[in-house]
Amino acid sequence: MQDLTSRAKYALGHIGQWISIIPVIAVILMGGWYLGKGAIHYTREVGVFDLRRIEVRGNNILTRAEIIEAMMLPLVGTVFDVDLALVQERVETLNYIYGIRIGRKLPHTIFIDVIENQPLAYVAAPEDFILSREGEALPLPHGRFELELPTVSGADSTVSTLALGTVEGHEQLSRALDILNYFYLSYPNLYSELSELVFTSNGEITLYMTETSTAIRLGDRDLVQRVSMLDAFLVTVSRNRRLRDYLYIDLRYEHQIVVRERA
């Protein structure tokens, strides 16, 4: 019995100690809360983290002004007042935006790194637009745009419905996308010389080169294979002939290449 009484007194003593400490902890927590609130108020008053600068990086097609306008940032406030997720959603609605990264750079800066869709060709239509490497049909950008790109022309009338959106489902432009991307990745020198990809009245594809106006007749099937044949042919004749020496190169026939040299 005496042992139990001692234990009870010991336990009550510890409980009493904790009860006496609780007010102290409460005072410390309350003081910390007020101190933190005061520090935040102070930093706002003196402008320690005021938003003063916006860095836009990686944009080549969209202007800095277009991106900043889409961000819709508050006119006053700190870098911590900016809702980064909301700003990202806004900027991603712009044409030519493939992806972005946004963050804070203390004490005064919000930065945004832009990855744009990569233009592949112009598309001649009632309202001309850009075909991107990602398969997007994008409107012509505002302001200066001086990229030298090949033009896709002669596509059927349904191309007029693709002023915005994707070319997926449009048979001719999907073919053009495949062949131009193949040129771009596998034969960049030939891609840089491309002037126009033309769909003829019977649906075949003819390419024209920029400086020589040489016509390269691909036909309407096995297009990638025929571009490979073109490259192999040009390598074979490179010691004696160059592309400009030919009026046309016809790749539409099985196991043969028909050419006509310039006079």
DSSP per residue, 89-127: HHHTTSTTEEEEEEEEETTTEEEEEEEE--EEEEE-SSS
* Higher per-residue pLDDT: 6 or 240: 240
How distant is the alpha carbon of residue 143 from its chain centre? 19
Mean predicted confidence (pLDDT) in 26-34: 55
Q: Name which of 234, 205, 244 is nearest 221 in CA terms.
A: 205
According to DSSP, the residues that pair with 246 across neighbouring strands are 261
Q: Over the stretch 164-195, which tens digit does the pLDDT of each residue have?
A: 677 888 889 999 999 999 999 999 988 999 99
CB 247 within 8 A of CB 262: yes
| Angle (nearest 5°) at CA 81 between 75 and 84 | 100
Q: Name which of 90, 94, 120, 117 is nearest 102 in CA terms.
A: 90
* Higher per-residue pLDDT: 99 or 244: 99
Question: Distance (Å, rounded) from C-alpha 144 to C-alpha 151?
Answer: 18
Q: Over the stretch 124-140, which tens digit does the pLDDT of each residue have?
A: 988 889 999 999 999 88
pTM attached to this predicted model: 0.75
The pLDDT, as a whole number, for residue 67 is 95
pLDDT band at 238 (very low <50, low <70, confident <90, very high): confident
- Residue type at position 189: N
What are the tokens at 209? 């080169």
